Amino acid sequence: MRNYLKALKRCTAVGAIALAGFSLQPGSAQAADPGPRPGPGVVGGTRAAQGEFPWMVRLSMGCGGALYTRQIVLTAAHCVNGSGANTSITATAGVVDLNSSQAVKVKSTQVLQAPGYNGTGKDWALIKLAKPVDLPTLKIADTPAYNQGDFTIAGWGAASEGGGQQRYLLKATVPFVDDATCQGAYGGSLTPAEEICAGYLDTGGVDTCQGDSGGPMFRKDDSGAWTEVGIVSWGQGCARPGYPGVYTEVSTFASDIKSAAASLGG
């Protein structure tokens, strides 16, 4: 298990969320984060345009996610507590402004946390919604071919370490950081076969942060389609030089995610 005093999961407890103008609906599926957090989008980001990333989802426990199907959200395992029936989570989709009257809000019915998840690696989970939403979905990488280059990150989490959650969806670009370099930064805490790193190692300044957990890291594939290559997982602080963001390596778990989604029937 990682030292959570240093390496913090990027989810925000419901009680810590403070955002002028609205409040996220609390639920019983609290983030399974045993350590302290800097507090309740994306550091160094800019506003995303309405409809730019239509598969982005905000979850009421203080995490992000992406529509894997129109009725299933892919998020991080540490954002949920185990698997089973769960009607406490509200997914908000279809907007970049969480205050928008056009927001689509749907309750959860089931949660499936990655089998064998114990806080290290395997940081993915699926949330089945009560009904399908009429929005595009984000396909996942089923090959490591796209685990390189520059990636896009997006979320409604803190825009600075220790900052508050954001009303508007923010986006940024981060470059790939190889496993050996990332492993060195985190003193051996990385699980290379299951995690992928990205960020500006020398300068910092751009990163996901608390409240972005579970959201996608994505890039264009060879056909020009957006493809999810990572799931926001953890990091030391936010956007600190020398400490890239750590993401679940989606291609490693693509077949598991596909099978799990089929079992949910969504």
> Residues with catalytic annotation?
78, 123, 213
CA atoms of 218 and 211, how far apart (whole Å): 18
Element (H, E) at 78: none
Handedness of CA 179, 184, 190, 191 (dihedral sign): positive
Between CA 182 and CA 90 the distance in angstroms is: 34
For strands 139-140 and 150-155, give the pairing. unpaired
Amino acid at 189: S
Question: In this structure, which amino acid lies at residue 207?
Answer: D
Structure-token match 């990332």, residue found: 182
How far is residue 135's CA from residue 123's CA, in Å, rounded to a whole number? 25
